[in-house]
Amino acid sequence: MEWLKTLVRNPIEPVVGLAFAVSWATAEAGRVQISWIPFAIIGIALAAGRLLPLVTIVAAAALVIVQFADVQLRFGQTSWPAYFGLLLAAIFVGASAHRLSRRIALALSPVFGVCIGLLLTIPAFGPFRRHGIMSGWTASDPRLWENILAWCVTVALISPAFWFIGFGIRARRDRAESDALRLAVEADLAGAELELRVASERDRIAQDVHDIMAHSLSVIIAQADGARYLSDIRPESTNGSLAAIAQSARESLVEVRMLIDSLGPEPDGHSHPTLDGLGTLIERMQSAGLAVTESTFGDTGQLTAGQEMAVYRIVQESLTNALKHAGANASATVVFDWRGPGLALTISSIGAGGEASTAGLTRGLRGMRERAKLAGGWLAAGPDDDDPHQFIVTAFVPRADIQTGITT
């Protein structure tokens, strides 16, 4: 049982109860009209105070009842301080974890206080039934009942005061446990947040490597295939293809190196493509054999560095997918529309590679959607309903100058 496990871990109250009962029984042994039973009852009340508070309440009630009923079980002028054991038991009960028992003890503590006050002051309950234990008042004292009332009220107020001492100890212990639990939860949350940041950074790196390498390798493959086909027909044309392959490889190597450098403590070399690099990107795709048409509507607005990189990567991924999956005679159209509250971006591709499909594009599409979302916008991609050979990517990124009030 739980209380037994608690007893084994913290046996303070039982030890105190046993020591109390043995000490008082030994000290009062041999005295006239003194029995060991009241001391044993108080010892039980002390021993069970925190673990079994109902037992303590029953023991206190039993002590009062037997002392009212049997003169042999009442305390004398030397043994009445044993009642302080009940006050100590009230502290233990107040510190108990049993809410109902605590409430019962608080309600009954003034009653027990009044009863003990009567046992200490009424002459009929005193030695030889002639005067009270505490005061020495006799039945002929003119202010006897006033004094009895004052004592009973005093003891009735002292009893719940000791209960509140125990309750304060309990509240302080509960607060300490709550603080420890809160700190543990905060530590767990901090660990989870760290894991989330690590996972997010890992995903960002994987996406950047995917964007860089997929684009560069697609260009290199297209150029290499072209050079291979032309090597027998027009050998002089292979020089341009080989130069384009070398250039794509160099740019890819530089971007990957800058990405790796960004993982250091001072990520100054992190690659941040901008809208200015879209022209070079489109030229590189055209040299790889993809016919790209670019159109711009409206005046170019202002985007943040993160938004510009997102737009660049979306265009890069879309054109790379067109080059890889659209087949022979592939073509793509890129439309930049600045006439709204942001940049509306449309990339459509068509070729002889069969019906457009999202098969094999899972990571790329997920990465584009995530970039658009982080840039404050959205992205949708899929085959055209009217032409199954056409694949359309549509995205929107809000303008930074409209969001922040900056004028360009």
**What is the pLDDT confidence band of residue 8, given thresholds at 50, 70 and 90?**
low
State pLDDT tens for residues 174-198: 898 888 888 888 887 777 777 777 6
295 in the same domain as 176: no
Structural domain contains residue 266: no
Structural domain contains residue 267: no
Number of domains the chain is built from: 2
294 in the same domain as 164: no
Average pLDDT over residues 221-229: 65
Q: Mean pLDDT, the chain, as a whole number?
A: 78
State pLDDT tens for residues 55-114: 889 999 999 898 888 877 888 777 888 888 888 999 888 888 788 888 898 898 899 888
153 in the same domain as 6: yes
301 in the same domain as 177: no
Last residue of a domain, one of 133, 152, 186: 186
Give me the percent of the chain exceeding a pLDDT of 90. Answer: 12
Last residue of a domain, one of 186, 205, 225: 186
Structural domain contains residue 308: yes
pLDDT at 406: 40
Q: Among 120-124, 316-320, 349-353, where is mean pLDDT lowest?
A: 349-353
179 in the same domain as 299: no
Structural domain contains residue 49: yes
Structural domain contains residue 311: yes
320 in the same domain as 182: no
Average pLDDT over residues 199-210: 68
**What is the pLDDT confidence band of residue 346, given thresholds at 50, 70 and 90?**
very high
**What is the pLDDT confidence band of residue 326, given thresholds at 50, 70 and 90?**
low
Q: Among 115-119, 316-320, 376-380, 385-389, where is mean pLDDT lowest?
A: 385-389
Q: Quick one: three-class SS letters along the chain? A: CHHHHHHHHCCHHHHHHHHHHHHHHHHCCCCCCCCCHHHHHHHHHHHCCCCCHHHHHHHHHHHHHHHHHCHHHCCCCCCHHHHHHHHHHHHHHHCCCCHHHHHHHHHHHHHHHHHHHHHHHCHHHCHHHCECCCCCCECCCCCHHHHHHHHHHHHHHHHHHHHHHHHHHHHHHHHHHHHHHHHHHHHHHHHHHHHHHHHHHHHHHHHHHHHHHHHHHHHHHHHHHHHHHHCCCCHHHHHHHHHHHHHHHHHHHHHHHHHHHCCCCCCCCCCCCCHHHHHHHHHHHHHCCCEEEEEEECCCCCCCHHHHHHHHHHHHHHHHHHHHHCCCCCEEEEEEECCCCEEEEEEEEECCCCCCCCCCCHHHHHHHHHHHHHCCCEEEEEECCCCCCEEEEEEEEECHHHHHCCCC
State pLDDT tens for residues 269-317: 445 788 888 988 888 888 777 889 999 999 988 898 888 988 998 998 8
Range ranked top by mean pLDDT from 9-13, 130-134, 345-349, 401-405: 345-349
Please give the residue range of the domain that contains residue 113.
Answer: 2-186
pLDDT at 268: 42
pLDDT at 24: 82
Structural domain contains residue 354: yes
Last residue of a domain, one of 131, 154, 186: 186
Structural domain contains residue 326: yes
pLDDT at 405: 43
Structural domain contains residue 214: no
Say which CATH number the domain at 345 has.
3.30.565.10
